[in-house]
Structure formats: structure tokens, C-alpha cells
Amino acid sequence: MTTTAPVTAIACHVLSVEALSPAISKVLLQPQQAVDYQPGQYLQLVLSAEDKRPFSIASIASQPQLELHIGTPAGDSWSSAALTHLKQQHAAALPVMAEIGLGLAQLRQDSQRPVILLAGGTGFSYVYAIAQALSAANASQPVFLYWGVRQQDALYYQPQIQQWATQGKKFSYIPVVQEPDNLWQGRSGLVHEAVLADFVSLEAYDIYIAGPFAMAGVAREAFAEQGAQRQHMYADAFAYI
């Protein structure tokens, strides 16, 4: 596990667990002491001393609560065990323990380079935090948020993001559905392929990636072939693949 510094687990009250879609839950945590973290970092939910599970923090540090998006697709036990723990502690009004502010793929706040945010599924949590931080900082560079999902009902924050895109001239939002139904009028296919189709060269861009490990690996190599500089591609998934 790659971390920026040793991090102590902090008690957090589970304020709410609500469904964003049939297979994705939004969790709000209230830390019991002050916490600091960078946009795009993650926390580890401590299930036991040997069992800690990482989740991207969808909120930014200026917000009082920690927001998580937890996907529990059919057949998954990795994140459903974490969600069950959160629900049980919520029902019992007991805190959970979390190590907060982990990872090295946080927003490079000093960079003026244009930004591509690439999310696969619940990897959206990570790019959402970065997009919020860029917006809060009134960042002047163009931002392109690509969000790939298997079916369009997994685009759980679509209205908010579309509103950003209509308000901000330099913010573009491109949802990409892998297996769309007949009603879908947007882009389809694999999300990283949409990026490859849209940019002749990726050399100038800071690229932030979160999603399935397989997607992160394929995107890194394909983007590098299209000019992206490896030192300007960021993903905590890279530490796992």
C-alpha cells in the first residue's frame, strides 16, 4: 500500500447510507476529530487490524463530512462486506474506524495544465472530488470529465455534472455507456477509447484515472502511446497493477 505518511485510524459516525442506484450506495461519515486530506485521496475503512478496504473520498476537505460511493455489484463480496459493516454500525449508532488521507494520486493544485478526468464506474467518486476542488479554486484550465459505465442507470450524479458543464465554459462532461439501451443518445463503448478518439495528442494534459484496475492499466498504456507523459498520469490503481 502506498501512502504519503503514516495515518492513524479515526472514529467516524455513520450519518447515512442511501442508494444512488440499485448497486451503488452513498455513505456520509462524520469524523470525530479534525481531518485533513487532499482532493482525490482515499480512506481505508478498518474492518479489522488485518482487513482494511480503500474507498475514494468524494468530498473535499472544506466540507464537514466525508462522502463515499460504494459499488456492490452482484456477486461482489469485497465492497459488500464493507457496506454491511457501515450499515451495522449505523444501526447500532456505533462509529467506524477509518484511515483518512491516503494515496498519491491527489490533484496537483499547482499545475496549470489542462485536465482529463477518467472515471470507470464508482471511480467517479475520485474524479468528483477533483472536479469540485478545481471548481472551488476557480481553476482557469480546461477540464474534461469522462465517466464510463456499463449501463446508463449507473450515472448517478448526472444532473449535477451536466449543470456544471452548462455553467462552466471550460468544463466538459462526456458520459460513455458501454452497453446502452435504445434510449441512450450519447457516446458508447469503453470510456478510455472515447478519450483516445477525442484528442490527437495527450501530451499537454494532466490525466487523473480511477476505476477497475484493468481499465487503469489499459488506459495508461494507450494514453502513453498517444503522447501522454507518464509522470502526468495519476492513479492509485497503478500501485496495484
At closest approach, how far in Å is the CB of 95 from ligand FAD?
20
At closest approach, how far in Å is the CB of 167 from ligand FAD?
26
Tell me: does residue 55 bind ligand FAD (CB under 6 A). Answer: yes
Q: Which stretch binds ligand FAD (CB under 6 A): 31-39, 89-97, 143-151, 223-231?
A: 143-151
Which 180-219 residues touch ligand FAD, going by CB under 6 A?
190-192, 211-212, 214-215, 218
Site size toward ligand FAD (CB under 6 A) is 31
Tell me: does residue 104 bind ligand FAD (CB under 6 A). Answer: no
The answer to whether 27 touches 14, Cβ cutoff 8 Å, is yes
- Select from 186, 227, 240, 241 the one that contacts ligand FAD (CB under 6 A): 240
HEC string of the chain? CCCCCCCCEEEEEEEEEEEEECCEEEEEEEECCCCCCCCCCEEEEEEECCEEEEEECCCCCCCCCEEEEEECCCCCCHHHHHHHHHHHHHHCCCCEEEEEEECCCCCCCCCCCCEEEEEEHHHHHHHHHHHHHHHHCCCCCCEEEEEEECCHHHCCCHHHHHHHHHHCCCEEEEEEECCCCCCCCCEECCHHHHHHHHCCCCCCCEEEEECCHHHHHHHHHHHHHCCCCHHHEECHHHHHC
Closer of 29 and 215 to ligand FAD (Cβ): 215
- Select from 84, 111, 112, 150 the one that contacts ligand FAD (CB under 6 A): 150
Q: Which stretch binds ligand FAD (CB under 6 A): 4-12, 31-39, 64-72, 135-143?
A: 64-72
Closer of 39 and 148 to ligand FAD (Cβ): 148
The amino acid at residue 120 is G
Closer of 3 and 141 to ligand FAD (Cβ): 3
Positions that interact with ligand FAD (CB under 6 A):
42, 54-56, 68-71, 73, 79, 103, 120-123, 125, 148-150, 178, 190-192, 211-212, 214-215, 218, 236-237, 240
